[in-house]
Chain A
Amino acid sequence: MSEPVATNQTILVVGGGISGMTAALEAAECGKQVILVEKNPSVGGRITQLYKYFPKMCFPACGLEINLRRLKANRNIRLLTMAEVTRLEGEPGDYTATIRIRPRYVNENCTACGACAEAVEAEFDDEFHFGLKKRKGAYLPFIMAYPQRYVLDPRIIGTEDAERAKAACKYDAIDLDMQEQTVELKVGAVVWATGWKPYDAARIQPYGYDRFRNVITSVELERIMDPNGPTGGRLVRPSDGKEAKNIAFIQCAGSRDRNHLKHCSRICCMASLKQATYLREKFGDEGRATIYYIDIRAIDRIEDFYARVKADPNVSFIKSKVASITEDEKTGDVILHGVDTEGYHRYSNRHDLCVLAIGMEPSVPAGEFPIELVVDDNGFIQSDPANGAIFAAGCAEDALDVNRAVQSGTAAALKAIQVVNRVAGTEG
């Protein structure tokens, strides 16, 4: 691989999700040099794992496609995948970043023909589908992955599978000797856009995510809806493959809770309202959604979306944080127990499937950044002069929906551009 060239006027963007891509594109389209560093083998981040977007209910693939087109067309962006920033030192206008790049074992010759995947025998949990499905040891992370290039799982390196893959490739694209690389780059400003991860649902003990097969998370439901997903897009439950026509959604699962995440994750009310419409999409009048909530936080203009979902007689709302879940072992049904706040009635309600509207936490925990950064109580990066020219974007800054993550990416790009313009002024 050729060494990327960078100067004090270069902007480093860490994280290639929707907010990082936006920041990189905005800056590059203003004529700035950008290095985009993404940990995964492909860009797009979490939105690539969503089935549909609220509030317009369009497919994320569409927005992603537009951004990929911009990315391919722009010569000012240098994309590094499977890469992470391990060290970051310096001051505004003069940072040195150390970047570690893991070997993909597949080079630019790859045509994504898929012959290597067919040849390889070993299978692993598919992380893109949260382990709900298996994938081969040679794989394309997902259909729209960019770069459209296969990856060899490091666990097959040194095994016969690696040789099988290499033998199957007609394009001389597999290079089993590829090594980990470390590069040092000079940059003037940094946009930190490493996004979010779902809170660990198993830690919410009374909900039994680790004990009951039909308790899943909202991110898993997005995968189940995907036509290329683990169930081929059939809305069925994990225990027996039965159609899940009666689904419970539990709000604030792991959020707004001193035992878990203290903050409101802000998108999960909208996510459940959106997912409630999946039932009608799949089962028409036979689908039933019940949303258990503390209060519904559908902010400003998306209140209309809430009103629309609420008008559906097949979607009901119970004002109560569910206290516990039990499982009917014979049927696999889940039974939700609690007391509702509107009348203090005690209930034990049976559902086919329970979806936890799981909270969002920053993907990089506080204290694990390569440079000291000021974060709030919940680990989101603050806008603070002490952070110098390191600007947070998207869910690294706060729990945001896509619309706001994109705005935040643009804002961070503008701040970074100002810094490198100052550098250009003094140097030029």
Chain B
Amino acid sequence: MSDLNAQMVEKYRNSFLKEVEANVEEGEWVKMCMQCGVCSGSCPLGPYWEHPPQEIFMMIRAGKREEVLKSESMWMCTSCYNCIVRCPRGLPITHIMHGLAHYAERLGLAPKQNPTRRFALMFWDNIAKHGRVNETVLSIKLYFMDGFSAGIKRALEMLPVGLGMLKAKRFNPWGLFFHKGCKGKRDIQKILAKAREIELAKAAKFGG
């Protein structure tokens, strides 16, 4: 168990809902859910979720902390916003899903092999380093995420798309070797470092 996780378990012994309200982005909305089911029924990925959003909200209120935080469910969200526009109570469901995923990650409870999680981390490393995404490097890393042979296979499958993009100048193979990044890359890194510091301080405060 990570330190932060242990602290949180201690602090919110009786109420996972309170923990979510205090630590998860838009978490204070969870109690507003009236369990109507529209979000779950409207989600294009609905059939693939183990626990659709409506159920996640109920599980939070029922105190199913481990089950929620270790779940793959909120990692399924593709930010299509269908749920948000339809929710009769105006819950920012998409943001709560990302907030939960992020919180689980911070606590070290997120499922390690979840592909969305791995992609998110890769994307973050990539953009944080250069201040701008290097799409070439990112796609290659993504293809080879599950090893060399799987990567070759995936790359071959995507070849026609890649060639098309090359023709349309939407893809720059030289990016593999040269990447300009953005102006003031250093400053961006400083901003990110500061943001991280604030976030950790906040977490430590709730933990203490």
Contacts A320-B41, A322-B41, A339-B41: A259 and B34 contacting too (C-beta < 8 A)?
A: no
Task: Select A258's contact among B51, B52, B88, beta carbons within 8 Å.
Answer: B88
Measured between beta carbons, the chain A residues less than 8 angstroms from B52 are 339, 344
- A321 x B37 contact (CB < 8 A): yes
How far apart are A269's CB and chain B's nearest CB, in angstroms? 14
- How far is A339 from B38 in the complex, measured between Cα atoms in Å? 7
- B90 x A323 contact (CB < 8 A): no
- Chain B CB within 8 A of A402 CB: no
Contacts A259-B86, A339-B52: A320 and B36 contacting too (C-beta < 8 A)?
A: yes
- Chain B CB within 8 A of A338 CB: yes
Measured between beta carbons, the chain A residues less than 8 angstroms from B55 are 344
- B89 x A258 contact (CB < 8 A): yes
- Chain B CB within 8 A of A346 CB: yes
- How far is A321 from B41 in the complex, measured between Cα atoms in Å? 9
- Chain A CB within 8 A of B54 CB: yes
Task: Select B40's contact among A257, A260, A294, A344, beta carbons within 8 Å.
Answer: A344
Residues B26-57 near A (CB distance < 8 A): 34-38, 40-42, 46-47, 51-52, 54-55
- Chain B CB within 8 A of A282 CB: no
Q: How many residues of A contact B (CB 8 A)?
A: 21
Measured between beta carbons, the chain B residues less than 8 angstroms from A259 are 85-86, 88
Residues A253-271 near B (CB distance < 8 A): 256-260
How far apart are A40's CB and chain B's nearest CB, in angstroms? 33
The size bracket of the interface on B is 20 to 34
- B35 x A341 contact (CB < 8 A): yes
Measured between beta carbons, the chain A residues less than 8 angstroms from B38 are 321, 323, 338
> Which secondary structure characterizes the binding site on chain A?
loop
- A321 x B36 contact (CB < 8 A): yes
Q: Which residue of B lies closest to A258 (CB)?
A: B90
Measured between beta carbons, the chain B residues less than 8 angstroms from A321 are 36-38, 41, 88
- Chain B CB within 8 A of A340 CB: yes
Task: Select A339's contact among B34, B46, B88, B89, beta carbons within 8 Å.
Answer: B46
- How far is A256 from B38 in the complex, measured between Cα atoms in Å? 13
- Chain B CB within 8 A of A206 CB: yes
Task: Select B42's contact among A260, A324, A340, beta carbons within 8 Å.
Answer: A324
- Chain B CB within 8 A of A337 CB: yes
Measured between beta carbons, the chain A residues less than 8 angstroms from B36 are 252, 294, 320-321, 341
Measured between beta carbons, the chain A residues less than 8 angstroms from B88 are 252, 256-260, 321
How far apart are A366's CB and chain B's nearest CB, in angstroms? 21
Measured between beta carbons, the chain B residues less than 8 angstroms from A257 are 88
- A206 x B42 contact (CB < 8 A): yes
Measured between beta carbons, the chain B residues less than 8 angstroms from A258 are 87-90
Measured between beta carbons, the chain B residues less than 8 angstroms from A256 are 34, 88
Measured between beta carbons, the chain B residues less than 8 angstroms from A322 are 41
How far apart are B9's CB and chain A's nearest CB, in angstroms? 27
Contacts A294-B34, A344-B52, A344-B55: A339 and B40 contacting too (C-beta < 8 A)?
A: yes
Q: Which residue of A lies closest to B40 (CB)?
A: A339
How far apart are B150's CB and chain A's nearest CB, in angstroms? 31
Mask, A63-75, CB within 8 Å of B = 1, is: 0000000000000
How far apart are B91's CB and chain A's nearest CB, in angstroms? 10
Residues B62-87 near A (CB distance < 8 A): 85-87
- B90 x A340 contact (CB < 8 A): no
How far apart are A94's CB and chain B's nearest CB, in angstroms? 45
Measured between beta carbons, the chain A residues less than 8 angstroms from B51 are 344
- How far is A340 from B85 in the complex, measured between Cα atoms in Å? 20
Measured between beta carbons, the chain A residues less than 8 angstroms from B86 are 206, 259, 323
Measured between beta carbons, the chain B residues less than 8 angstroms from A206 are 42, 86
Measured between beta carbons, the chain B residues less than 8 angstroms from A294 are 34-36
How far apart are B63's CB and chain A's nearest CB, in angstroms? 18
Measured between beta carbons, the chain A residues less than 8 angstroms from B46 are 339, 346
How far apart are B126's CB and chain A's nearest CB, in angstroms? 36
How far apart are A87's CB and chain B's nearest CB, in angstroms? 38
Measured between beta carbons, the chain B residues less than 8 angstroms from A324 are 41-42
- How far is A206 from B41 in the complex, measured between Cα atoms in Å? 11
Measured between beta carbons, the chain A residues less than 8 angstroms from B34 are 256, 294
Q: A257-B88, A337-B41 are in contact. List 20 more A-B contacts (CB 8 A).
A: A256-B34, A256-B88, A258-B89, A258-B90, A259-B85, A294-B34, A320-B37, A321-B38, A323-B40, A323-B86, A324-B42, A338-B38, A339-B54, A340-B37, A341-B35, A341-B36, A341-B54, A344-B51, A344-B52, A346-B47
What are 24 A-B contacts defined by CB distance under 8 Å?
Answer: A206-B42, A206-B86, A256-B34, A258-B90, A259-B88, A260-B88, A294-B35, A294-B36, A320-B36, A321-B36, A321-B37, A321-B88, A322-B41, A323-B40, A323-B41, A324-B41, A337-B41, A338-B41, A339-B37, A339-B41, A344-B40, A346-B40, A346-B41, A346-B47
Chain B interface residues toward A at CB < 8 A? 34-38, 40-42, 46-47, 51-52, 54-55, 85-90
Chain A interface residues toward B at CB < 8 A? 206, 252, 256-260, 294, 319-324, 337-341, 344, 346
Instruction: Across the A-B interface, give the 5 residue pairs with the lowest CB-CB distance, nearest first.
Output: A323-B41, A338-B41, A257-B88, A321-B36, A339-B40
